[in-house]
Each structure stands twice: as structure tokens, then as C-alpha cells.
Amino acid sequence: MAAVLERLRVPPESLIVENGIGCDDYNKIAAQFCDIGAGITSNMINADLIKPEYSVLDVGCGLGRLARPLIEYLVDGRYVGLDTTKSSVDWCTQEYSDVPNFEFIFANVFSNDYNTDAPLKASEYRFPLDDRSFDFVWSTSLFTHLVFEDFDNYIKEMSRVMKPGARCWNTYLLLDSVALELIDILNAKNTRHNLPHEVHGGRVRSLENPEAQIALYEAMVIDTHNKYGLEIEDIRYGPWSGRKHNVRAGGQDVVIAVKT
Ligand SMILES: C[S@@+](CC[C@H](N)C(=O)[O-])C[C@H]1O[C@@H](n2cnc3c(N)ncnc32)[C@H](O)[C@@H]1O
């Protein structure tokens, strides 16, 4: 029974492979899926970003890595996950059908990496959610796959659906002066974080598929938050660029902002 419960709402190998989470050792990847989700959400809870009665929105929710550990905690609240990969949304909708306050929405928008048949651009997408209806909004590893125009619209939409005083918490590969100094070393190493090409708003790994990996200029990320009424509260840098000092655990950088 314990083994069955442990595997509850853990995606099957086929979906893990389809989503590019990994393909080597399913048991190891499934355990990481649970541990990373639990680690990130417990940090959010400990930082008072999520409370049991909050309405929360997970943009680019994937296979529910951060939804799973919140079931027990968000007893009086509401969780909405939104994603452009239909198979992920369908699987989550089925797996969480016994959790009435958890909902998953398919965002049928174009993504070169995830949804190539969609008719609508992400830069023109309006989240099917009410204005000022969420206490906390986040994304993990979403803005590493959106070109600048799409990112701009998603920050606008996040701000629209946030209540005044609500916070957003998003991960990025941010190009600040430190990361920019390290770019050449990073590119020479030819890792998954190499970013040889300049595009509007950032640098990408591949010009043919900019959504495969994009880093955004920090100054433009800050300006975009300000443009849509989001005041930056904190920026915590991760070690992805090779930065050595004052780095947070976890790979990417995090920007936290409050709706004014
Ligand atoms: C690297 S995965 C991260 C998934 C999840 N946040 C996690 O941490 O497990 C990126 C996710 O963003 C989703 N995505 C990409 N572009 C999107 C868009 N324009 N709108 C909504 N979701 C998008 C993908 O379908 C994918 O599930």
C-alpha cells in the first residue's frame, strides 16, 4: 500500500520521456520529481509565500511537480495549473480528479518546443482566469522557454490575475553583469546552458529553436515587471552560469515581485 501511495500522482515513464525530464533511470527520475517538488514548495511555505487558504497559479505546471506536494497543505485554498502540453494537462486532470480544489488548464498556444500545432501566439494569449483572483503566482523553468514577446505578455497576464499585494515567484536564466562575463566560458564548455546567439531580449542556444533555451537580460526583466505594476522584492541567483558567490540552491535564478 505504501508503495502505491508513494507512486500516486507520479507520472509514468512514457510521459517523463515525452516531457524531456529524463530517460535514463525511471526510479531515480521519479524520486527526483517528488523530492524537487517537495523541496521547492516547502521553501515557498516557509517563506510565507503560500498559505493554506491561498489561491495559487502555477504557469507552465508540467506534470504537476509542484501540485503534488501542495494537496495536503492547500486545504482551504485553490490550485490552478496552466500548461501548453496537452498530454501533461490531460494526465494531471485525470490524476487529480479526486482533489476538487485542484484544476489544470490547457493553454493552446504555440511553442516551438512543446506545442507546434497551436494557432495562437503566446504573446497574444489571455489566461482564462479572472482579474485579481490569485494570492500567489509562480513558474519554474517556464521563462527559460519563452521568447521575449511571450514573456512580456505572460508577466502582464500574471499581474492581471494577481490580487493587489500578491506575489509572483519565477525562475530564469538572468543575464546580469556577472553572468555576461561568464558567458564565453559557458559557451566553450558546450553544456546545455551554452547561449551563443543574441536575440531580442536575451541569448539563446539555437536560432532555429530559440525556445529550447533562452536567457533574458536582467534589466529588461526588471523593466517588464515594473511596466505591469510588479515591484521587484528580491533576486536570488542560482549557480547555472558558473557564478560562485551568494548563490541559492537550485540551478536557475529567482525573481520575486509584489503587485503594487
Ligand atoms: C521545463 S518544463 C517545467 C515544468 C514544471 N514547471 C516543473 O517545474 O516541473 C516547462 C513547461 O512549460 C510549459 N510551457 C512552455 N511554453 C508554455 C506556454 N507558452 N504557456 C504555458 N506553458 C508553457 C511546457 O509545456 C512545460 O510543461
- Cell for 213? 533555451
Q: How confident is the model at residue 23 (pLDDT cuts 50, 70, 90)?
A: low
Q: What is the CATH number of the domain that holds 32?
A: 3.40.50.150
Contact 51, 74 (CB under 8 A): no
- pLDDT tens-digit readout, 189-240: 877 778 999 999 999 999 999 999 999 999 999 999 999 999 999 999 999 9
Q: How far is CA 231 from CA 159, 162, 218, 224, 234, in A?
A: 11, 13, 14, 10, 9
18 within domain boundaries: no
For residue 75, the cross-strand partners are none
The C-alpha atoms of residue 112 and residue 109 are separated, in whole angstroms, by 10
Q: How confident is the model at residue 186 (pLDDT cuts 50, 70, 90)?
A: confident
Residues 144 and 227 in one domain: yes
Residues 249 and 146 in one domain: yes
pLDDT for 6 equals 66
Ligand 1 binding residues, C-beta < 6 A: 60-62, 65, 82-85, 88, 107, 109, 111, 114, 122, 140-142, 145-146, 150
Contact 203, 175 (CB under 8 A): yes
206 within domain boundaries: yes
Residues 244 and 182 in one domain: yes
135 within domain boundaries: no
pLDDT for 167 equals 98
The C-alpha atoms of residue 47 and residue 260 are separated, in whole angstroms, by 19
Q: Is the pLDDT of residue 184 over 90?
A: no
Q: Give the phi and the psi of residue 46 in degrees, each rounded to 5.
A: -65, -25
Which residue's CA is the closest to the ligand 1 atom numbered 17?
Answer: 84
Q: Among candidates 172, 109, 161, 90, which has minimal Cα distance to 139? A: 172
Q: How confident is the model at residue 3 (pLDDT cuts 50, 70, 90)?
A: low
Counting the structural domains of the chain, the total is 2
Neighbouring C-beta atoms of residue 133, cutoff 10 Å: 16
The C-alpha atoms of residue 123 and residue 150 are separated, in whole angstroms, by 4
Residues 89 and 122 in one domain: no
Contact 60, 141 (CB under 8 A): yes
- Whole-number Å distance, alpha carbon 83 to ligand 1 midpoint, is 6
Residues 99 and 120 in one domain: no
- pLDDT tens-digit readout, 120-145: 999 999 999 999 999 999 999 999 99
Q: Strand pairing of 230-236 and 253-259? A: antiparallel
30 within domain boundaries: yes
User: Could you list the residue range(s) of the whole structural domain that residue 246 is in?
Assistant: 116-128+140-260
Contact 110, 121 (CB under 8 A): yes
Residues 161 and 98 in one domain: no
Residues 145 and 103 in one domain: no
19 within domain boundaries: no
79 within domain boundaries: yes
- Whole-number Å distance, alpha carbon 152 to ligand 1 midpoint, is 16
pLDDT for 185 equals 85
Q: How far is CA 247 from CA 111, 236, 237, 242, 254, in A?
A: 31, 7, 5, 10, 11
Residues 79 and 145 in one domain: no
- Whole-number Å distance, alpha carbon 188 to ligand 1 midpoint, is 28
Terminal Cα distance for the chain, rounded: 48
134 within domain boundaries: no
pLDDT for 1 equals 42
Residues 248 and 121 in one domain: yes
Neighbouring C-beta atoms of residue 17, cutoff 10 Å: 14
- Whole-number Å distance, alpha carbon 33 to ligand 1 midpoint, is 15
20 within domain boundaries: no
Residues 73 and 124 in one domain: no
Residues 228 and 121 in one domain: yes
Q: Is the pLDDT of residue 20 over 90?
A: no
Residues 148 and 237 in one domain: yes
DSSP state of 241: T
Name, in order, each residue with C-beta under 8 angstroms of 13's C-beta and a sequence gap of 6 or more: 26
The C-alpha atoms of residue 14 and residue 4 are separated, in whole angstroms, by 18
Contact 72, 52 (CB under 8 A): no
